Structure 1
Amino acid sequence: MMKITGYRALRTFHDWGRPVGDVNGFVSSGITEVPVVVLETDEGITGVGMGSHQDIDRLYPALDGQDPRAVSMLYDRMLARVFKAGHAGATFGGLGTLDMALWDIKAKLAGEPLWRLLGGGDRFVAGYASGLDIALDDDQLASFYKTMAERGFSSGKLKGGRNVDDDNRRLGIIYEELRRNAAHPALMLDANESWNLKQAVRHIAAVEAVHDLTWIEEPLRRWDAAGHARLTRSIRAAVATGENLTGLEQYTPLFDAGAVDVVQAASVWGITHFLRVAYAAHSRDLPVSPVGLTANPAVAHAAAVIPNHLSAEVQDLGSPLGITIDVEYSDGGIVLGETPGVGVTIDEDEIATAAKTEASWLIKEGPHVRPDRAGLQLVAERAALPLA
């Protein structure tokens, strides 16, 4: 029996080439940390996971000495390992990173890319462009979506939610750039949990008076099933949410309340989680969209095999330092490669050069630190963000 014998935690970074963020804040340098985990076995085959180092030391004992091919069992074993303190939140990121590494090993042993191992027949995954673009000026915004239009994308998502006039103007910029590929490009708006219910209704109504909005993403706090249910009945656009739910059980209130129209799962939470969410959504005739494939490209392999995949978020065409990903971006989506495993190859020598780089999402100005009184203001507008 093959056995897991250890792991190595590495750290590299991604240079986006632009400031990245959302209504909550942004990283002006455009450089962010990318944690990497290499899972080792007694047969010399390693698995690569990307996403988080959170609580890896607590989770790893669930894997130590186990056969890495038993991915589903080991996923539940990791959940059980942290059951008492809870797997939700940041811990779920470490679990997802180890899960990716396990699937990488399993597919490498089979000599197949993961999408084929999982039963896929087509390596194309439909996608949409998403610039994490709150801090881009109008010219930068147009330039990003022009680049994505050149890759065939006909759908785009704007980070907004602060100012209706700005959102309408900027959605128009995206629309014009993507029109080369569709007479009526799909437009999405992401508010990143910044509103209360009535702010959401008023803001979306004003946007829908100008644009045919495909979906509004994370309009309210992630757990607000009643609010999302009221909202989706009050607007034309679909309500998309779920990327910050850490565990299948957290979706149940939203499903039961009829509160979500497009079910999302963040790629950083791993492959097994995405598959379970996708099939739970499929049982309710709901489409699924994975979020953030730059952070965890392996989930694109899972998206290729589920019956209810709608579109995957493509935020960037590059890859982190020392990381090679066997994918192409063309025809408005992701074309997965033939490399056995999840298609991620690492150069540890190159990654070592990033050791002294200061790069994090977790700065006080960044999108992962919630601003004071978000969703608790009479007026949502704030002064324009300064550009670096």
Structure 2
Amino acid sequence: MKITGYRTLRTVHDWGRPVGDANGHISSGVTEVPLVILETDEGIEGVGMGSHHDLDRIYPALDGRDPRAVTSLYDAMLARVFKSGHTGATFGGIGTFDMALWDLKAKIAGEPLWRLLGGADRFVPGYASGLDIALDDDELRTFYDAMAERGFTGGKLKGGRDADHDIRRLGIVADALRANTSAPTLLLDANESWNLKQAVRYLTRIEEHLDLTWIEEPLRRWDAVGHARLSTAVRAAVATGENLTGLEQYRPLFDAGAVDVVQAGAVWGITHFLRVAIAAHSRDLPVSPVGLTANYAVTAAAAAVPNHLTAEIQDLGAPFGLSLDQIVTDGGVVLGDTPGAGVSIDEAAIAAQHLSGSWASPEGPHVRSQRAGLRMFTHADGE
């Protein structure tokens, strides 16, 4: 079997609510979902999702190769962009091809991906995450009530701008989740919007009122020394890593003892997640994948690693034209038995729809806020 080509298409995810974080939000709640179909000479096709960046430059590493050699092909893709580097957006293109390769490998084997990767249990525990900074209090409660109905006992609030505001809203999350537990797991995500002293002061105030399980991305992603100092200054665990594009970028964090929960962005692919998980496991650290709506196949990988802690479940729906062989229930995801990653595409339906959206709009969460890291005191604009 040989890889013979690929084609791309683009659909959208309609979240049904504004989505964003401390850096901004998408008011429409409609975002783009890039898809890749990897083709073979035997007619079996693999589905990838995440990014279209640099696909033409990366693809020669796969052309004519046997798709079953996934990890070797992953390294070949990294080598293909050796001179300019594989980090940043290019890593997203590699991750999208990587998902398609794993989907192909599992389809060829006639197995669901979670079983092919070595998972024994199809259930993957998770936590609810509303991308909820633009929701008012009533909307926030509605979202977490719905997630509580699916059995979730943990929730992650997007915050970082006003401690009293976040304390109140974490209380709303906790109240909703108490339908399932007397001690909800509360997580806060600042999305790299603080400096070290801001983080210490902010979290100290929150911990006077609440038992916070982890603080996510409190500082810039590369600040190993700062994360290590913060971890010793507060009770909450420090969770970070979702924006690191390559295993080598975790080394300074590991060496500094700077991370308590090791995260990996689902958009960066399955092989990346597997390698990060094993590196974390060698240091007795748990791993947590972030943003499964960007790459549902990573859920299968989470089922197969020994140190998976919990996965971010952001929505109960699926992108337009995609069918998922999985069920969100009992506070996690139950994976199905369809061979491959369990993602099916209705290409005709996608071609006929006309919705559009983007994560990268100027007011959105993928564009860093001008005031991020500078909120040492409150301004008239609320920052």
**What TM-score does the superposition give when structure 2 sets the normalisation length?**
0.99
Q: Structure 1 stretches of 5 or more lacking a match?
A: none
1:161-208 CA-partner distances (Å, limit 9, x unpaired): 000111000000000000011110000000000000000000001111
* SS of residue matched to 1:147: helix
Instruction: Work out the CA distance in 1 between the residues paired with 2:380 and 2:238.
Output: 24
Instruction: Work out the CA distance in 1 between the residues paired with 2:208 and 2:266.
Output: 33
* SS of residue matched to 2:173: helix
Over the aligned positions, Cα root-mean-square deviation in angstroms equals: 1.0
> Following TM superposition, by how much is the alpha carbon of 1:358 offset from its aligned partner in structure 2, in angstroms?
2.7
1:317-356 paired onto structure 2 within 5 Å:
317-354=316-353, 356=354
> Following TM superposition, by how much is the alpha carbon of 1:281 offset from its aligned partner in structure 2, in angstroms?
0.1
User: Are the counterparts in 2 of residues 225 and 259 from structure 1 also a CA contact under 8 Å?
Assistant: yes
Name whichever of 47-56 and 375-384 sits farther off. Answer: 375-384
Q: Which residue of 1 aligns with 2:169?
A: 170
1:216-242 CA-partner distances (Å, limit 9, x unpaired): 000000000000000000000000000
1:302-337 CA-partner distances (Å, limit 9, x unpaired): 000101000000000000000001110111000001
> Following TM superposition, by how much is the alpha carbon of 1:371 offset from its aligned partner in structure 2, in angstroms?
1.4
Tell me: CA distance 1:247–1:381, structure 2 relative to 1, closer, same or farther (3 Å).
Answer: farther
Q: Structure 2 stretches of 5 or more lacking a match?
A: none
> Following TM superposition, by how much is the alpha carbon of 1:124 offset from its aligned partner in structure 2, in angstroms?
0.1
* SS of residue matched to 1:6: strand
Instruction: Work out the CA distance in 1 between the residues paired with 2:378 and 2:34.
Output: 34
* SS of residue matched to 1:14: strand
Counterpart of 1:23, as a letter, is: A
Q: Which residue of 1 aligns with 2:355?
A: 357
Q: Which residue of 1 aligns with 2:376?
A: 378
Instruction: Work out the CA distance in 1 between the residues paired with 2:234 and 2:178.
Output: 25
Count of aligned positions: 383
Counterpart of 2:363, as a letter, is: E
List structure 1 segments (4+ residues) > 6 angstroms apart after TM superposition. none
Indicate whether 1:39 and 2:47 are aligned.
no
Instruction: Work out the CA distance in 2 between the residues paired with 1:13 and 1:220.
Output: 30
1:112-261 paired onto structure 2 within 5 Å:
112-261=111-260
User: Are the counterparts in 2 of residues 162 and 380 from structure 1 also a CA contact under 8 Å?
Assistant: no
1:67-146 paired onto structure 2 within 5 Å:
67-146=66-145
> Following TM superposition, by how much is the alpha carbon of 1:381 offset from its aligned partner in structure 2, in angstroms?
6.3
User: Are the counterparts in 1 of residues 9 and 36 from structure 2 also a CA contact under 8 Å?
Assistant: yes
> Following TM superposition, by how much is the alpha carbon of 1:374 offset from its aligned partner in structure 2, in angstroms?
1.4
Instruction: Work out the CA distance in 2 between the residues paired with 1:302 and 1:206.
Output: 37
Counterpart of 2:160, as a letter, is: G
Tell me: CA distance 1:64–1:152, structure 2 relative to 1, closer, same or farther (3 Å).
Answer: same
> Following TM superposition, by how much is the alpha carbon of 1:286 offset from its aligned partner in structure 2, in angstroms?
0.1
Equivalent residue in structure 1 for 2:366, among 338, 357, 368: 368
> Following TM superposition, by how much is the alpha carbon of 1:383 offset from its aligned partner in structure 2, in angstroms?
3.8
Instruction: Work out the CA distance in 2 between the residues paired with 1:343 and 1:197.
Output: 42
User: Are the counterparts in 1 of residues 22 and 369 from structure 2 also a CA contact under 8 Å?
Assistant: no
* SS of residue matched to 1:7: strand
Instruction: Work out the CA distance in 1 between the residues paired with 2:337 and 2:231.
Output: 40
* SS of residue matched to 2:218: coil
Identity of aligned residues (%): 73
* SS of residue matched to 1:324: strand
Instruction: Work out the CA distance in 1 between the residues paired with 2:377 and 2:293.
Output: 34
